[in-house]
Structure 1
Amino acid sequence: MREWTRDERYQRYEDMDQDTINELTERVNQSKYRQLFHIQPKTGLLNDPNGLIYFNGDYYISHQWFPLGPVHGLKYWYTYTSKDLINFSDKGISLKPDTKDDSHGVYSGSAFVYQDNLYYMYTGNHRDEDWNRKSTQHIAKVHKNGEVHKFPKAVISGPPSGYTQHFRDPKVYVKDGIYYAFIAAQNEEGFGRILQYQSKDIVNWTFQGEIQTKLDAFGYMWECPDYFNLDGFDLLLFCPQGVEPEGEKFRNIYQSGYIMGQYDIENLDMNHGDFHELDHGFDFYAPQTFTDVSGNRILIGWMGLPEINYPSDSDDWAHCLTIPRILSIEQGNLKQRPIKALQQLRSNKETALGYANKFTRFLYPYEGKQFELIIDILENEATEIYFEIRASKLQSTLITYNTKTRKITLDRSESGTLPEPVDGKTRSTYLDKPLSQLQLFVDTSSIELFCNDGERVMTSRIFTDDEAIGIKASTESGQVFLNFTKYDLKDDK
């Protein structure tokens, strides 16, 4: 991919001529990697989901957007609305970098309701002539006609004493009529932290302090905080940068996960267990949650990572959002399941019952590039089971399950062109219970794997050839009986 200059990265979309935009759009639309049922950028680069909320009968889904190419540059918010999180209406740009405080990007933030009106709280990014960063927190009102008007000045003019300008991504939480903002920060010692602010009128915000956790030197920055109570447990989500790998854990360039326990919001004290990764695949970051019309907690993440070059970059676009997941706590463990509304996309159901062993590979008789696949393991006497998805003679995405260790591995070493830099070609995790079911959502250039009804999730981009459409199963030794159910997924965005 070509190198972009600073000036190119900070060109305004509004200043580009329409012929240039049309040519860029045409190149992107011709890309063989374009997704079918995921939100993806019209052009350029998508990253963090922002402003997720259900309000007055509509879901609002925004994302960070640099329109002009597959690189991080001058960021906008791009917005969709939906009645069901399956069918989306394109609302276009909702927030632009058009003030001094956000002159170098409208960064991440969240949505909330105040006095029956919808508001966004977001980070404004400004650079001075020496390229020093200044981060401020802003609020904008979303009017009923869709217009968004920013408050005239920042509601939080900068980080408190003891913290650097890495101060961003406010997530607003409301309790008993009090508004709290959880903001990602870095202290002057160079460690990630989350700060808490409070307001009664959303204009005047008081710094309450730093959330106290058991994690001290755990990365140099904690991005994208999120806090909520779920089934009697308090969860604090964040994305630590600079965490060293530990065996199979923390293998990506940056991590995304949560701590769970009980949070004393008055005293800013979080009593919690270990930090757990939310997703064990290659490409997942910056998730945000919200409640749906029924009060369920829904999560959507960015299916990508910073500082990685993806094959779609050559077509002038990068990244997408994950499918929405519903969260629950069951027997003290977090489960993530695809929302049931995704079943609306199903068509052409195909089933097959079969077995595989060391000498007999089960070739699933149906093929596809965009599908949902449910694999039920009926009987398992195998030491290790292999599933190949999007397979051809030369390519496949391999899922391996070891019966003894309960280790499940996603291997994309033969999944076509790989993102760069390549930091290992496998990702693994361990299941709490023996593997009984896999549910996969496979799109043109991605795979989302739900193990044991949401016990673990593995999300990754894959960039295979058009010929890679096969589905196979085999074992190392011993025999396994399987039931496959496949649905084609139609495009209802």
Structure 2
Amino acid sequence: MVMKQDEMLKQQAYLAVEEKGESVRKDPYYPGYHLAPPVGLLNDPNGWIQWKGIYHLFFQWMPFHAGHGAKFWGHYTSEDLVHWNLEPIALTPSDWFDKNGCYSGSAVDADRKLKLFYTGNVKDEHNQRESYQVLAESEDGITFTKKGVKIELPEGYTPHFRDPKVWEHNGRWYMVIGAQTEDNWGSVVLFESVDLEKWTHKGILSRGNEKPFTNLGYMWECPDLFELGGKDVLVFSPQGLEADGIDFNNQYQTGYVVGELDYKEARYTHGDFTELDRGFEFYAPQSALDDQGRRIVVGWMGVPDQDEELQPTVKNGWVHQMTMPRELKLMDGKIYQLPLNEMKELRSIHRNNTTIEEEISTEIERTSEIKLDGEIESIVLFDYSRLIYDRKRMILTLERPSYRNGEIEQRSCILKNDLEHLHLFVDHSSLEIFVNNGEEVFTSRLFADPSNNSLKIKPINSAGLQVWDLKNDTIKQENYKR
């Protein structure tokens, strides 16, 4: 009996994990409590949902090498957002409509099934792209059956038309898709359905050359539209923005607008674009509403085309990871991001609880949580990353060496209020910094010498310091084949 393409691809991926997975996990840069690929490359979070009490996070995955290609959907689950299990492969690029990649998408709970919508990527012999919006579904949340193409490319757009995010509102289903118009402007498109089978193209909700924008990029990826704090928030990742002072300094950006969506008229009125994260690596986030009513977001700790191939883990057979899940809140028209209360379960040893009044130097574990209350002048982690506060201009800056040439590069933000609180999470090769209870966030990779555990802090006056060692073994990958 000839093995089906889907099963053959799964077996090839499982073999890659068997052959290389152990050496990948031995890499000193491999995370202890963040989600990363078992081998190969991970990028966008997909299908992020709490379904029947279990959190499901799917991810774009290339299992065969630490580069891009025809993507699979890998799959992690968790009951508590702290401990995670790697599940069997959810989707493979095995059909005519997705043979060059099962691209990003989302998940919904409908008809007692977990339903996935994703973009099937197809390229012909001349490298011409086609894109299809595809449905797959599961009764157990583990094994998925593809149900075929539900939306083909409408008129007015190039085949850069992808990343469906689906939700329910007042008894109807809605979908936003990231798109490029035929005149090469980034945009977000709305569809409507009563049954998740037949979809009506309602039109463009926002585009890069229409008010309040004049030139917001040539392609918008990974849109996510949701209600937060009584407003309709659209998060998306525009490509093609030029750096503007301290803004838009990554290769591609991720940010949001706040407004109101008229579902009946398919009209979205919104304000200007604000970056969601100020660090070096943050892209393509996706949010979900859990059964506690929290809007929780996970982002990819990476950026496309931003020296990915130069990250030091590539030679060890893997690259990239996810952010921690974070809770979103909207206050005075601005999104705040907060570590979840569940993250306290990561704590193992309360290493430090003191007040510092002068510069100190100490050592921390490579999986650590650090809290500082009070103004600081600088923090230096592992003699590699440096956080500096310019009190007069209220500018906070993160520095690190460039992957490309080792020269110091920077990312900065201007604070609305004085610096009063910093909350840092370190995990072998990653750093997440929450500023002033989530007013700003810096997310970055951190490839310091693994033998260097130094932490140096210089307060402006005095600051309360707490340090915890964090668990290093919260992700299980042993039992993912079925």
Q: 1:313 to 1:161 in 2, by over 3 A?
A: same
What is the CA RMSD across the aligned residues, in angstroms? 1.8
Provide the C-alpha distance between the structure 2 equivalents of 1:90 and 1:22, rounded to a whole number of angstroms: 14
Count of residues in Structure 1 that have an aligned counterpart in Structure 2: 459
Report what 2:86 is aligned to: 90
Pair 1:387-2:368 in alignment: no
Pair 1:442-2:423 in alignment: no
Pair 1:371-2:368 in alignment: yes
Report what 1:322 is aligned to: 323
SS of aligned partner of 2:423: strand
SS of aligned partner of 2:23: helix
Residues 356 and 464 in structure 2, CA contact (< 8 A), matched pair in contact too: yes
Report what 1:482 is aligned to: 463
Report what 2:244 is aligned to: 246
Report what 2:224 is aligned to: 226
What runs of 5+ residues in structure 2 fail to find an aligned partner? Answer: 1-7, 476-482
Provide the C-alpha distance between the structure 1 equivalents of 2:447 and 2:21, rounded to a whole number of angstroms: 20
SS of aligned partner of 1:425: strand
Q: 1:145 to 1:274 in 2, by over 3 A?
A: closer
Provide the C-alpha distance between the structure 1 equivalents of 2:253 and 2:436, rounded to a whole number of angstroms: 23
Report what 2:118 is aligned to: 122
What's the offset of the Cα at 1:370? 1.0
What's the offset of the Cα at 1:28? 1.5
1:198-277 alignment, distance < 5 Å:
198-212=192-206, 214=211, 215-277=213-275
1:87-236 alignment, distance < 5 Å:
87-144=83-140, 146-151=142-147, 153-158=148-153, 160-212=154-206, 214=211, 215-236=213-234
Provide the C-alpha distance between the structure 2 equivalents of 1:389 and 1:352, rounded to a whole number of angstroms: 19
Residues 112 and 139 in structure 2, CA contact (< 8 A), matched pair in contact too: no
Pair 1:426-2:410 in alignment: yes
What's the offset of the Cα at 1:21? 4.8
Provide the C-alpha distance between the structure 2 equivalents of 1:445 and 1:193, rounded to a whole number of angstroms: 34
Residue in structure 1 matching 2:449, options 450, 454, 465: 465
Provide the C-alpha distance between the structure 1 equivalents of 2:360 and 2:130, rounded to a whole number of angstroms: 58
Q: 1:194 to 1:375 in 2, by over 3 A?
A: same
Deviations along 1:199-225, whole A, 9 cap, x unmatched? 101111111111146234310100000
Deviations along 1:345-385, whole A, 9 cap, x unmatched? 101112121112xxxx2224x422110000111xx5xxx70
| Aligned-partner residue type, residue 91 of structure 1 | E
SS of aligned partner of 1:24: helix
What's the offset of the Cα at 1:108? 0.3
Report what 1:5 is aligned to: none
Q: 1:419 to 1:268 in 2, by over 3 A?
A: farther
Provide the C-alpha distance between the structure 2 equivalents of 1:154 and 1:43, rounded to a whole number of angstroms: 30
Q: 1:206 to 1:83 in 2, by over 3 A?
A: same
Q: 1:20 to 1:272 in 2, by over 3 A?
A: closer
Residues 396 and 468 in structure 1, CA contact (< 8 A), matched pair in contact too: no
Provide the C-alpha distance between the structure 2 equivalents of 1:278 and 1:424, rounded to a whole number of angstroms: 23
| Aligned-partner residue type, residue 278 of structure 1 | L
Provide the C-alpha distance between the structure 2 equivalents of 1:64 and 1:396, rounded to a whole number of angstroms: 29
Provide the C-alpha distance between the structure 1 equivalents of 2:13 and 2:81, rounded to a whole number of angstroms: 33
Provide the C-alpha distance between the structure 1 equivalents of 2:162 and 2:405, rounded to a whole number of angstroms: 27
SS of aligned partner of 2:89: strand
What's the offset of the Cα at 1:22? 3.3
Provide the C-alpha distance between the structure 1 equivalents of 2:13 and 2:287, rounded to a whole number of angstroms: 37
Residues 13 and 64 in structure 2, CA contact (< 8 A), matched pair in contact too: no
Provide the C-alpha distance between the structure 1 equivalents of 2:294 and 2:409, rounded to a whole number of angstroms: 35
Provide the C-alpha distance between the structure 1 equivalents of 2:196 and 2:405, rounded to a whole number of angstroms: 43
Deviations along 1:287-330, whole A, 9 cap, x unmatched? 00001120110000000111222111111100000000100112
Pair 1:69-2:70 in alignment: no
Residues 188 and 220 in structure 2, CA contact (< 8 A), matched pair in contact too: yes
Q: 1:56 to 1:367 in 2, by over 3 A?
A: same
Q: Which stretch shifts more, 56-65 or 270-279?
A: 270-279
Q: 1:198 to 1:284 in 2, by over 3 A?
A: same
Residue in structure 1 matching 2:44, options 41, 45, 48: 48
Report what 1:290 is aligned to: 288
Q: 1:52 to 1:422 in 2, by over 3 A?
A: farther
| Aligned-partner residue type, residue 282 of structure 1 | F
Report what 2:479 is aligned to: none
What's the offset of the Cα at 1:451? 0.2
Residues 13 and 68 in structure 1, CA contact (< 8 A), matched pair in contact too: no
What's the offset of the Cα at 1:24? 2.3
Report what 1:6 is aligned to: none
What's the offset of the Cα at 1:234? 1.1
| Aligned-partner residue type, residue 372 of structure 1 | E
Residues 369 and 442 in structure 1, CA contact (< 8 A), matched pair in contact too: yes
Task: Report the TM-score, using the length of structure 1 for normalisation.
Answer: 0.90
What's the offset of the Cα at 1:88? 1.2
Residue in structure 1 matching 2:385, options 392, 397, 415: 397
Report what 1:338 is aligned to: 339
What's the offset of the Cα at 1:424? 6.4
Deviations along 1:394-439, whole A, 9 cap, x unmatched? x3311001111110000113xxxx4348896110001110000100
Provide the C-alpha distance between the structure 1 equivalents of 2:452 and 2:158, rounded to a whole number of angstroms: 48
What runs of 5+ residues in structure 1 fail to find an aligned partner? Answer: 1-11
| Aligned-partner residue type, residue 489 of structure 1 | L
Provide the C-alpha distance between the structure 2 equivalents of 1:406 and 1:200, rounded to a whole number of angstroms: 50
SS of aligned partner of 1:119: strand
Q: 1:422 to 1:242 in 2, by over 3 A?
A: farther
Q: Which stretch shifts more, 112-121 or 448-457?
A: 112-121
Pair 1:452-2:436 in alignment: yes
SS of aligned partner of 1:155: strand
Residues 252 and 423 in structure 1, CA contact (< 8 A), matched pair in contact too: no
| Aligned-partner residue type, residue 124 of structure 2 | D
Report what 1:9 is aligned to: none
Q: 1:132 to 1:470 in 2, by over 3 A?
A: same
Q: 1:216 to 1:268 in 2, by over 3 A?
A: farther
1:408-423 alignment, distance < 5 Å:
408-413=396-401, 418-420=402-404
Residues 9 and 92 in structure 2, CA contact (< 8 A), matched pair in contact too: no
Provide the C-alpha distance between the structure 1 equivalents of 2:404 and 2:188, rounded to a whole number of angstroms: 31
Provide the C-alpha distance between the structure 1 equivalents of 2:205 and 2:141, rounded to a whole number of angstroms: 38
Q: 1:472 to 1:175 in 2, by over 3 A?
A: same
| Aligned-partner residue type, residue 105 of structure 1 | G
